Amino acid sequence: MSLSARRNRRDAIRMAGLNPAGTWLIVQVAKTVLPAFAVRGCCR
């Protein structure tokens, strides 16, 4: 396996781990901020 192929594979694995973490963070911020602005239909 070439060096560039190994680097690309590591980047894919890292992004696979960062996507759920980023999504979780966005959901947590939305659950905190949206009720403060009285947005209807969110965060039951």
Range of the domain at 15: 3-37
Whole-angstrom Cα distance, residue 16 to residue 10? 10
Q: Which residues of 17-32 are buried (b: 16+ CB within 10 A; e: fewer)?
A: eeeeeeeeeeeeeeee
16 inside domain: yes
What pLDDT, on a 0 to 100 scale, did the predictor assign at position 35? Answer: 81
Would residue 9 count as lying in a domain?
Answer: yes
pLDDT at 28: 94
Question: Is 32 within a domain?
Answer: yes
Residue with token string 């759920």: 20
Domain total of the chain: 1
Residues belonging to the chain: 44
44 falls within a domain: no
Does residue 23 lie within any of the structural domains? yes
pTM of the complete model beyond 0.85: no
pLDDT digits (tens, 9 = 90+) for 1-44: 677 777 777 777 888 888 999 999 999 998 888 888 876 766 65
Q: Is residue 43 part of a domain?
A: no
